[in-house]
Structure 1
Amino acid sequence: MRGPEAMERDARTDGRLARASALLAVAPLLWIPQAALIALALGRIAGGGGVAGVLLPAAGLVALAALRALLETAGGWLAFVAARSRLSAARAAALARVAAGSPLDRARAPSGRVASVVAEEAEAVTPSLARFRPARLRAVVVPLGILLAVLPLSWLVALLLLIAAPLVPVFMALVGWRAQAASAERLGHVADMNAALLDRLRGIATIRALGAANLAARRLRAEAERFRAGTMAVLRIAFLSSAVLELFAALGVAMVAVFVGFHLLGQIGFGAWGAKLTLGQGVFLLLLAPAFFEPLRELSAVWHDRASGEAALAALDALGQGAAVLPGAGEAAEAPFAGTPAVAVSGLCFRHAGRAEAALDGVAFDLAPGESLAVTGPSGAGKSTLLALVAGLATPEAGEIRIGGRRLDAESAAELRAGMAWIGQSARIFPGTLARNVTLGRSIGPGEVAEALRFARLDGVAAARGRALIGEGGYGLSGGEALRLTIARAAATPGARLILADEPTAHLDAETAAEVTELLLALARGRTLIVATHDPLLAARLDRHLALAAPGLEAAA
């Protein structure tokens, strides 16, 4: 459902595009007086007039040319600005829907496809809006204006133009339907290829380690071949539509030229309104005939831009549609807890989309403020899902979650999340400095960052690295350092009074796991802590235990 702000923004964009289209439609009409001035000057020269007879028409011609250039520049700029505004709004809406999707939604679009659609395919929207809409209006206004200028001089020329003109849009429409389908199919090939490439680049180390590099290369080559075939199909359709247009335009201009030539030679005595055309009138008709078809030719040239733009807009609109929405997808202005919150969970049930069995069924526990809870159980028992539900990252099928006495629901989720900190088992490290990986764009000062790094025992690493960048995926950091970086993020989170940790000691050696355990317990002092873990040493250090059973079995607290 589109909100009033989006509808108002689209209305403003449509208004700017309408004004731009009007300017770009008026500009070509100035060719009619320009052609009249040229015909007048040639008629005077043919009649024996001197240079003085063409000075005034030449001055008028220059003035009209300057005015036409000004109108086209202003209209083109206005159309481009309006098109970019619409594209930015469509991109922002698509990214907002993707960002609002729940992490537990297994139908989420692959990141490679999202990046391809938003960054690359969406660029086709600009020429579609900035060129097609004005061209469509010009294709209506300019031929009509030229027809009205020609009709008082020769009814036959007007008839020839009137007969040839409708054939162009008819064949363009016939070819255009196929062009739009081919463009949409080609954009799908682009998205699939980019998604496949990005996913394989992310996992290149694993692919090479398993000896699957050649297989991955063959699959990428197959995707590239599909893209090549789709591109050639679009080009074939483009050449076909251009050939059809050029054929009818050339025939129309040729028929006008034949009539004017034979009429001036006296071989054809009809076609004008009772009197023979003068040389100037004949030149005027010859100058307007190509201009009559020019807007139609331009419309044909941007017809494929329209097809690509509509396919790109459809792809943008499809991103995030039908996905499981993250409850309370906004951001709270300040932390919701005055103190350390209690956590109460009762009758919690959750089922992943498309799964028959419930991931969680009837889970319940109560944590007093400042208590810690170890959530244990076999893989697949729903430990990570439970943490995600407590974090408000998905809506449970049944049951209730209360944090600090407030019910967690779609209205309160964003505000309650502002008082939480998350530590995952797989640290997501972004290319950049240590400090930027701590702040993640949040309003955290250098002092707070330095204190968080010191707390996580990364101050020595920060001093040694200076402003050296961390590579993608945490390249340059050990596994323990990467996990301590997530602890530093939690320590730097302003107002975090509830800490959720998902397997914080997984995949670590005993010494590093013990160090991370101590840091986690130190971070949890004065805070409520919930940890999903397989580590019995970490679980033994916590106040309460909740053992989840495999799906279909009851949990034990």
Structure 2
Amino acid sequence: MSSRPEADLKADERTLDQLMRTAGGQVRLASMLTAASSLIWPLQAAIVAMAISGLLGPHPGPGPITSAAAFIGLGVARALLTNYAEGLLFTAATKVVTGAREEIVRREMQTTDTGGAGSIAALATEKLDTLLPYITRYAPARARVMIVPLIILALGFWFSWAVGLVLVVTGPLIPVFMALIGLAAKEASQRQMADIGSLNDLLIERLSALVDIRLLDAGPAVVSGFASGAESLRAKTMNVLRIAFLSSTVLELFSAIGVAMVAVYVGFALLGSIGFGSYSAPLSPAAGIFLLLLAPDFYQPLRDLSAAWHDKAAALAVAGELAAWRDRTPAALLGQGARTAKLPGPAEISLQGVAVHLGDKVIRYPDMSIRPGESVALMGASGAGKTTLLRLLAGLTAPDEGLVTVAGEKLDTQTADAWRARLGWMPQAPHFLNASVADNISLGQPGNLGEALRAAAVEPVVAALPDGTRTLLGETGGGLSGGEARRLTLARAVFARPDILLADEPTADLDAETASMVMTGLSALAAQGCSLIVATHDPELAARMDRTIRIGAGA
């Protein structure tokens, strides 16, 4: 029995129904078409039964050529219907998955919350793809189960009440066992999906702390943790497969028993050994062959639904994760993140009574004012809130208390985009586009590339690359050392000629020579009239600034 509350299961089903609304009409039409194509088989079976009966004795009926032409014509019609229905289902499934994926990407673009990035990425990519088999297989299988077995059951009772009774007794056992096994399958699928997201989160966290892991020589412990997580995921995946195979075995057993019982009855009835089961007249060869051909197709829709039941279990697990993601209230990005005209006025910044709530922790910042062209070092202990302050100044997050004023205007949703148009950002962990060096620095804007490279003291590094400024960089700056990547982000800032540069630990983890190059580049940028606001632990860098603002204890 599932351990999840019934309310949660119903909420997952509601979420799944909401996803299906965008393509519900297409799915219903395609499901009816697949049911119609399945109903062509009884007609083909009747043609085959009459043709074989004609070969066994002088019975009236269509000739062999007519029978073959009719059988082939119906087969072609069935194939065309099936192909058209599958095309509709695939289009509908793609529409549903694309819509859900777009919803996730659009909202995540408007948030600054990076928590659980790995699980969200897994949800938007591989997990949403599990909706495809659910839409393309479960809905049409359910439609066939509601129509095809009933038609075949009616035909069975029409020719022989004994065959109809066999189908009535064995048929319902399949959905009963399917439901029992399906409960376990859904629970197992949910555990597997949760582990996939957790493993992705763990990978992103370890990659972001890769430098610290190497410095602490914690590589073996991290590898061991990954191995343990991977083994747990493997075990849960195998558990899902075991349940799937168990379900298939049960279904095959009951369907095989049912078909065998029909075959035994028809065989003995045609031999004259059994005199019951039919109505006024004995069972004819044509009727017996017809029933034998129909019996497997009575169980086939039930078998299809059983296979698709596991697809539904996986889809409900994904729907539950999507519902949980929708219920989250992440920190929203101020503004729309769109390119716009710069906010006019002097590049002055002031903070009054600003505080940020991080769980149970409250970070309070001293009131401050930063004048245009001024260079300021933000110093404090690790965790004091220096990076958070830079994010506040960039309008990436809003303060929970107090007021941030920029260029004489309150920094809020209306002014954030225009304010960010005046900013440059130099993160502690450089990030690049999967594009050339030139595109990573210019971001498609005109300007003096060589001047930016020289100011950041990175021109010799770029010249030594295989294709110079046309060299393609990966998202992590493959081929560049940490210091070189840091200087390349400085070149990007110099190229954009921002009014204010926000730099987060620009000299952290760098050797003295490289750190000196970065500091020289920052000084050159300040000499152009750019305000520098630098979060740092480096006393030498802080000494080069006009003043230092202490954050945290002792501020």
Tell me how far 1:294 sits from its aligned partner. 0.5
1:21 pairs with 2:23: no
Tell me how far 1:51 sits from its aligned partner. 11
- Aligned twin of 1:520: 522
Assess if the C-alpha contact under 8 Å between 1:32 and 1:149 holds in 2: no
Which of the residues 394, 402, 407 maps onto 1:404? 407
- The whole-number CA distance in structure 2 between the counterparts of 1:220 and 1:238 is 27
Assess if the C-alpha contact under 8 Å between 1:39 and 1:284 holds in 2: yes
Note the aligned Cα RMSD (angstroms): 3.2
Assess if the C-alpha contact under 8 Å between 1:491 and 1:523 holds in 2: yes
- Aligned twin of 1:58: 68
Tell me how far 1:55 sits from its aligned partner. 1.2
- Aligned twin of 1:444: 445
Q: What is the 5 A alignment of 1:38-117?
A: 38-48=48-58, 53-103=63-113, 108-111=115-118, 113-117=119-123
Q: Spell out, residue by residue over 1:13-47, the C-alpha distance to the aligned partner (whole angstroms, 9 max, x if none).
A: 22222222222222111101111111121222223
Residue type of the alignment partner of 1:245: L
Mean Cα displacement is larger for which, 373-382 or 466-475? 466-475
1:247 pairs with 2:253: yes
- The whole-number CA distance in structure 2 between the counterparts of 1:329 and 1:7 is 32
Residue type of the alignment partner of 1:520: L
Q: 1:348 to 1:203 in 2, by over 3 A?
A: closer
- Aligned twin of 1:135: 141
Gaps of 5+ in 1: 1-5
- The whole-number CA distance in structure 1 between the counterparts of 2:278 and 2:41 is 22
Q: Spell out, residue by residue over 1:439-485, the C-alpha distance to the aligned partner (whole angstroms, 9 max, x if none).
A: 5xx4435x565554344343333232124445674453344432221
Q: Secondary structure at the match of 1:351?
A: strand
- The whole-number CA distance in structure 2 between the counterparts of 1:186 and 1:9 is 22
Q: 1:450 to 1:289 in 2, by over 3 A?
A: farther
Which of the residues 399, 418, 421 maps onto 2:421? 418
Q: 1:313 to 1:437 in 2, by over 3 A?
A: farther
Q: How many residues align?
A: 536
Assess if the C-alpha contact under 8 Å between 1:109 and 1:320 holds in 2: no
**TM-score normalised by L of structure 1:** 0.85
Tell me how far 1:58 sits from its aligned partner. 1.1
- The whole-number CA distance in structure 1 between the counterparts of 2:335 and 2:165 is 62
Which of the residues 37, 44, 52 maps onto 1:34? 44
Assess if the C-alpha contact under 8 Å between 2:19 and 2:100 holds in 1: no
- Aligned twin of 1:458: 458
- The whole-number CA distance in structure 2 between the counterparts of 1:350 and 1:52 is 86
Tell me how far 1:266 sits from its aligned partner. 3.4
Mean Cα displacement is larger for which, 385-394 or 372-381? 372-381
Q: Spell out, residue by residue over 1:36-82, the C-alpha distance to the aligned partner (whole angstroms, 9 max, x if none).
A: 11112122222347997121121111011111111111222221222
- Aligned twin of 2:364: 360
Gaps of 5+ in 2: 1-15
- The whole-number CA distance in structure 2 between the counterparts of 1:415 and 1:271 is 84
Tell me how far 1:124 sits from its aligned partner. 2.1
Q: Secondary structure at the match of 1:373?
A: strand
Q: Spell out, residue by residue over 1:312-366, the C-alpha distance to the aligned partner (whole angstroms, 9 max, x if none).
A: 34335545752532323632231332454322221111121232xx2224x3223
Tell me how far 1:284 sits from its aligned partner. 1.2
**TM-score normalised by L of structure 2:** 0.86
Q: Secondary structure at the match of 1:333?
A: coil
Assess if the C-alpha contact under 8 Å between 1:139 and 1:295 holds in 2: yes
Q: Secondary structure at the match of 1:375?
A: strand
Assess if the C-alpha contact under 8 Å between 1:335 and 1:419 holds in 2: no
Assess if the C-alpha contact under 8 Å between 1:347 and 1:398 holds in 2: yes
Mean Cα displacement is larger for which, 536-545 or 262-271? 536-545
1:307 pairs with 2:313: yes
Q: 1:279 to 1:398 in 2, by over 3 A?
A: same
Q: Secondary structure at the match of 2:240?
A: helix
Q: Spell out, residue by residue over 1:280-329, the C-alpha distance to the aligned partner (whole angstroms, 9 max, x if none).
A: 12211111111011011111122222222322343355457525323236
1:506 pairs with 2:513: no
Assess if the C-alpha contact under 8 Å between 2:483 and 2:510 holds in 1: yes
Assess if the C-alpha contact under 8 Å between 2:387 and 2:535 holds in 1: yes
Q: 1:264 to 1:138 in 2, by over 3 A?
A: same
1:11 pairs with 2:21: yes
Residue type of the alignment partner of 2:507: T
Tell me how far 1:9 sits from its aligned partner. 8.1
Mean Cα displacement is larger for which, 298-307 or 420-429? 420-429
Tell me how far 1:430 sits from its aligned partner. 6.1
Assess if the C-alpha contact under 8 Å between 1:109 and 1:319 holds in 2: no
Q: 1:288 to 1:415 in 2, by over 3 A?
A: farther
Q: 1:443 to 1:313 in 2, by over 3 A?
A: farther
Residue type of the alignment partner of 2:494: A
Residue type of the alignment partner of 1:453: L
- Aligned twin of 2:331: 325
- The whole-number CA distance in structure 2 between the counterparts of 1:212 and 1:369 is 45
Assess if the C-alpha contact under 8 Å between 1:431 and 1:471 holds in 2: yes
Mean Cα displacement is larger for which, 77-86 or 371-380? 371-380
1:156 pairs with 2:156: no
Residue type of the alignment partner of 1:125: L
Residue type of the alignment partner of 1:376: M
